Every structure is written in C-alpha cells, then in structure tokens.
Amino acid sequence: QVQLVQSGAEVKKPGSSVKVSCKASGGTFSNYAFSWVRQTPGQGPEWMGGVIPTFATTNYAQKFQGRVTIIADDSTRTVYMELSSLRSEDTAVYYCATGHCSRTSCYGGGYHFDFWGQGSLVTVSS
C-alpha cells in the first residue's frame, strides 16, 4: 500500500512557474510509476505526464510538452512536477497518482492510478 502526500495550495502570476511535490510512503519506490493528473471544475481528469523510475523513463502528454518537467528523487521518495509559463487556464487541482510498474510486472502503457495524493490547488491569477 502506498500513501502519497502532496504539497499545499499555490497562487501564481501568469507567466511564472509552479513546482508541486508528492512524497510517497509504503511500498518500494522503484516498483511504481508516478503520474501527474490535473482536473478543472466539471472536467474529467487529464494526464500530464509521468515517470517510471525502474526504467528511468519520463513521458509527457503532447499538450504539455516543453512546459512540464517531472522528476523522481529516489533518496527522498518524492516526485516533483514543475509547470512553467502559467496562464489562467492552468488553474486546476493537480494530483499525483501511482500504480505498480516494476521490471518484473509492468503492463499496458505502464501508468496506472491505484493510489492518489490529496490534490494541490494551483490558482493562476494576476
């Protein structure tokens, strides 16, 4: 069982960047693939990108390519998501999520959402 605890709410100016953290406890960190998913009110979840430590792989959704960076720090069991060039449309709740994906068991596209963080509200406003 994995527990994910995210950093708190942020208020940012348009054009700036935000960095959100997600600390994992329980389980073996390298046996999981971590994703960042965002959600605006009334909309379905939207996958932004993810990292699979065991394969040293990072993937980004085309929509966010060039604006998002996702990093996994094994030593602190923390995953970070940085989104740059913020605009008002980026106002959303950002979730980290994870599912099992190890060298011995990783199916489908690799990214699964068995466990979720509590969400971090990012507000972009001038």
Interface with other proteins, residue 36, by CB under 8 A: no
Phi, psi of 90, rounded to the nearest 5 degrees? -85, -5
Binding to other proteins by residue 110, rule CB under 8 A? yes
Rounded CA separation 75/72 (Å) = 9
Name which of 18 and 101 has its Cβ closer to other proteins.
101
Among 9, 14, 109, 125, binds other proteins (CB under 8 A): 109
**In terms of Cα–Cα distance, which of 48, 56, 59, 39 is closest to 109?**
59
Q: Answer whether 75's CB lies under 8 Å from 84's CB.
A: no
> Hey, which residues between 49 and 88 contact other proteins (CB under 8 A)?
50, 59, 61-62
Interacting residue ranges for other proteins, rule: CB under 8 A: 35, 43-47, 50, 59, 61-62, 95, 97, 107-114, 116-119
